[in-house]
């Protein structure tokens, strides 16, 4: 529906494509990597019909936004989010982040606070950290990140096929909770993303949000699938809830990483209830 300029690279502006649908209290949806805002398709109608103004945008390097060389770190992505909120003058908003988008939510609150926010939702969260440690033995280290980056450089399209298989637990859900057509659409969204942004994404996995989340002082909903093969529920969802014990915490039984697709009915139920009651 429009673009918001967040910077320049050489002679070209860096524009973020956004859509602004519905009326009511604003809900801002932040997508995962390496997908784009179209991944929220199964949440958008439910939110609009429930009386919310829903803002989605494509992260730099994704979808219909500009594809700059740099700025794929969380500090810059949080600044991009701040520009979106201030340009649209969104107040009393709820930020909903999925996967990499949860890092943007956490870093935004860590740097800019919650003056514009009514609440936040963290679905399949990177926070408090995804780095391998005694507290998170299923996390990643720099060697693992470099391995993923090498696979992206070697054959990004083949790597993407395997990634989506693990995103959706296709060995369990293909033909039941997810169709071949949906898989193709997700693969195409990932293939359309900037190769540079896709390659840079894994570096963000090593960021730490421990200090950022201490600034969360608005109602918060945490949703995590019990069958997530990317961000384990023990290492991520349950650790985040331990760090934010006042948050509402929901586990979706059997939910894979992209449970907003496979388990959209369950996610929408919890999201709408939180917006109506908790936020």
The reply to whether 241 belongs to the active site is no
Which residue spans within 10-136 are E strands per DSSP? 12-21, 26-30, 53-57, 93-98, 117-123
How many CB atoms sit inside 10 A of residue 6's CB? Answer: 23
Which residue spans within the chain are E strands per DSSP? 2-9, 12-21, 26-30, 53-57, 93-98, 117-123, 220-225, 248-252
Q: Which of 36, 228, 263, 264 is catalytic?
A: 228
Contact 244, 113 (CB under 8 A): no
Q: Which of 99, 125, 129, 232 is catalytic?
A: 99
How far apart CA 228 and CA 159 sit, in angstroms, is 18
Two tokens at 110?
């860590």
DSSP string, 178-243: B-HHHHHHHHHHHHHS-HHHHHHGGGGGG-B-HHHHTT--S-EEEEEETT-SSS-IIIIIHHHHHH
Burial class (CB in 10 A: 0-12, 13-18, 19+), 50: middle
Contact 156, 192 (CB under 8 A): no
The reply to whether 224 belongs to the active site is no
Q: Which residue has the tokens 């709408």?
A: 272
The reply to whether 208 belongs to the active site is no
Identify which of 79, 98, 129 has the alpha carbon closest to the alpha carbon of residue 30. 98
Q: Which of 31, 224, 241, 257 is catalytic?
A: 257
| Residues that are catalytic | 99, 228, 257
């Amino acid at each position: 529906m429009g673009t918001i300029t967040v910077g320049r690279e050489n002679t070209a502006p860096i524009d973020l494509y956004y859509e602004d649908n519905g009326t009511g209290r604003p809900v801002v949806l932040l997508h995962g990597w390496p997908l784009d805002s179209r991944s929220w398709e199964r949440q958008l109608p439910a939110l609009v019909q429930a009386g919310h103004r829903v803002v989605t945008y494509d992260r730099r390097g994704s979808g219909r936004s500009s594809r700059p060389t740099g700025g794929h770190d969380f500090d810059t992505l949080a600044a991009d989010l701040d520009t979106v909120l201030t340009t649209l003058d969104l107040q009393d908003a709820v930020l909903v982040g999925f996967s990499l988008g949860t890092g943007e939510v956490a870093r935004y609150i860590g740097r800019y606070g919650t003056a514009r926010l009514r609440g936040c939702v963290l679905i399949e969260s990177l926070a408090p950290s995804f780095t391998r440690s005694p507290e998170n033995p299923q996390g990643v280290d720099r060697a693992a990140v470099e391995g993923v980056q090498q696979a992206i450089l070697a054959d990004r399209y083949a790597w993407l096929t395997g990634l989506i298989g693990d995103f959706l637990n296709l060995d369990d859900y293909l033909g039941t909770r997810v169709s071949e057509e949906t898989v193709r659409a997700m693969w195409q969204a990932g293939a359309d993303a900037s190769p540079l942004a896709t390659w840079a994404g894994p570096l963000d996995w090593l960021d730490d949000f421990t200090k950022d989340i201490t600034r969360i002082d608005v109602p918060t909903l945490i949703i995590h699938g019990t069958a997530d093969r990317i961000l384990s529920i023990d290492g991520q969802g349950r650790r985040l809830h331990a760090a934010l014990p006042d948050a509402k915490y929901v586990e979706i039984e059997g939910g894979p990483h992209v449970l907003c697709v496979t388990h959209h009915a369950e996610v929408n139920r919890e999201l709408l209830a939180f917006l109506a009651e908790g936020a």
